[in-house]
Amino acid sequence: MALVAGFLAQAMQMALVLIAAPLLTGFVRKVKARLQRRRGPSVLQPYRDLYRLMRKEVVLAENASWLFRVTPYLIFAVTWVAASLVPTFASGLMFSWAADLIAIIALLGSARFFLALAGLDVGTSFGGIGSSREVMIASLAEPAMLLIVFPLALVAGSTQLSNVAEFMVSPDVGLRVSLGLALIALIMVAIAENGRIPIDNPSTHLELTMIHEAMVLEYSGRHLAMIELAASMKLLLYLSLLACLFLPWGLATQGMGVAAYAVGLTSYLGKLAAGGVLLAVFELVVAKMRVFRVPEFLGAALMLGLLGTLLLFLSRSL
């Protein structure tokens, strides 16, 4: 019985992640529009976009290979799996021990690997621009992410997300500088990985400012729908990660009753909404950086992670 309940909870998290992702994207767009004194599209518009794309015909380049057609499914699957392993309304779900934070980062890395390959597949220069810039950003964002995992793992004694989240709720955590540095670094890396301003503009039409858009330029129809959905889920994943690591209050644990799950769900949706508003405000306040300033930005995130680790060693040995 407990097994079935656990299985259901995990399945519910997978469904929640899938359904909430486009809603989050729509919400962010709506808040941005409102702040710019526009009415903006409806919050449900991304669902309509996905539906429209699913029903359209796929136009495939003549020399696109099987890799080009398989990649959207692969990216979608990998991102969905990674997003369902991050605690949203409850921690300690049934399969959460299968992959820890390092494995989740590596799963997102595989999605990026195949997306970069798909960008090179058709043999145009736009795909090349997108892929080469994307791997440059990844070559700094992934180490920065791993150097954020270090202080978190050292403080909480584990790299398993559920354990870290439960540790953060407990009173042992205290007000640590290393965690503050890790928070700032995680926000910087999250902005870089999701291709938001100031790294990349998700709504650009100018080729020289594209990174993500340039890689998916040749995709259309149902393939594009899956890639867009995967991108929304990636944003949801990072916001959930920030929420469960640094704002873990309200998180239920596996095995608590339905009431606790409901509380967890409400607090999770609230955190998502708050994160969306902050993201929208940040994107409007800051301008996009030149591509070759991005390594300095990410280098700063890497240094913050390293500094956090060093400060942790300092306070541990006193």
Residue 203 interacts with other proteins (CB under 8 A): yes or no: no
The residue range among 103-111, 188-196, 266-274, 275-283 that interacts with other proteins, by the rule CB under 8 A, is 103-111
Choose which of 122, 224, 236, 243 interacts with other proteins (CB under 8 A). Answer: 122
Please report whether residue 38 would count as binding other proteins according to CB under 8 A.
Answer: no
- CA angle (95 as vertex; 24, 276 as ends), nearest 5: 15
40 scored as a contact of other proteins (CB under 8 A)? no
- Helix residue ranges per DSSP H, 122-220: 125-156, 161-169, 177-193, 212-215
The one segment of 94-102, 233-241, 253-261, 269-277 that binds other proteins by CB under 8 A: 94-102
Residue 249 has φ and ψ, to the nearest 5°, of: -70, 140
Cβ nearer to other proteins, comparing 31 with 118: 118
Looking at 25, 88, 160, 201, which residue binds other proteins (CB under 8 A)?
160
> According to CB under 8 A, which one of 135, 256, 284, 285 is a site residue for other proteins?
135
Find the part of the chain contacting other proteins (CB under 8 A) among 119-127, 258-266, 271-279, 282-290: 119-127
Residue 318 as a binder of other proteins (CB under 8 A): the answer is yes
Could you say which DSSP state residue 247 is in?
A: -
Which one of residues 110, 204, 209, 253 is an interface residue with other proteins (CB under 8 A)?
110
**Distance, CA of 34 to CA of 281 (rounded, Å):** 10
CB of 30 to other proteins, least distance (A): 26
255: left (phi over 0), alpha (psi -120 to 50) or beta: left
Q: Are 92 and 161 in contact (CB under 8 A)?
A: no
How would DSSP label each residue in 41-54? --TTHHHHHHHHHH
